[in-house]
Structure 1
Amino acid sequence: MADLLALAGRLLLAALLLAGTAQKLASPEEAQALLSLAALPGWLIWPAALFTLIAGLGLTLGIATRPLALLAAAYCAITSIFHVLLDDPWQMSIAFKNWTIAGGYLMLAAHGPGRFAV
């Protein structure tokens, strides 16, 4: 049962990254607007999309799970900064969710992919 739970958790965490990739590709303007609020160039969305694609695929397959999970945790922690908009409760909840998700990635980094990995 533990291996099935590890697989389910790993796939859910990977799905979040892949959904983020799809969102960035489908509507880059929204993420670019958050970058501009932090005085960062909008083109940074493309390396971020590439990272989330690579990390999402790697985690899905269970390839390089520990380092990718560590990087994904850092990515979540760093990107939470863009959502700290004190007068926007929705963005603040996203910031805190990013920290929680980072915790999930840290658990994945600590325990590895489980038995069901490539």
Structure 2
Amino acid sequence: MTNLALLLARLLIGALLVGGALQKAFSPGDAGALLVGLGLPYALVWPALVYDLAAGLALWLGVAVRPVAVSASAYCAVTSVFHLNLFLTAGDPWQMTIFVKNWAVAGGCLALAVAGSGRWAVRPDA
């Protein structure tokens, strides 16, 4: 049961990251507006897209799961700030939900970092 749970955790968190990459690819203006609103360059959308895609695929495949999960936890924590900006998001109550979701995903990533990939992975953790 443990290996199945770890596989499902990797697939679900990976789906969130890959979905974020696809959203940035097909509608970069949404993420770009959040960046620009905080005084950051719009061009940061592209490295974020690459990170989302690479981290999501690594989790799906079960490659370098522990370090990817740690980095994804930090990424979720840092990017949660974009959704807490009360001046930009005051008219959008979903932003607080996304803020809290990011912290919940960060916690799930930390648990995955501790547990590792499980047996069902391209490169299972030792």
Fold in common (TM above 0.5): yes
Aligned residues: 118
- Residue 113 of structure 1 aligns to a residue whose secondary structure is coil
CA-based RMSD: 0.8
Deviation at 1:85, TM superposition (A): 3.2
Query: Which residue does the alignment assign to 1:10?
Result: 10
Question: Which secondary structure does the structure 1 equivalent of 2:40 belong to?
Answer: coil
Aligned partner of 2:63: which letter? Answer: I
Q: For residue 93 of structure 2, what is the aligned residue in structure 1?
A: 89
Who is 1:117 aligned against? 121
Instruction: Measure the CA separation in 2 of the matches of 1:16 and 1:93.
Output: 15
Where does structure 2 lack aligned partners over 5 or more consecutive residues? Answer: none
**Counterpart of 2:27?**
27
Offset at residue 95 of structure 1 (A): 0.6
| TM-score normalised over the length of structure 1 | 0.97
CA contact (8 A) 1:85 1:92 kept: no
CA contact (8 A) 1:21 1:52 kept: yes
Aligned to 2:106: 102
TM-score by length of 2: 0.91
- Name structure 1 gaps, 5 residues minimum: none
| Identity level (%) | 55
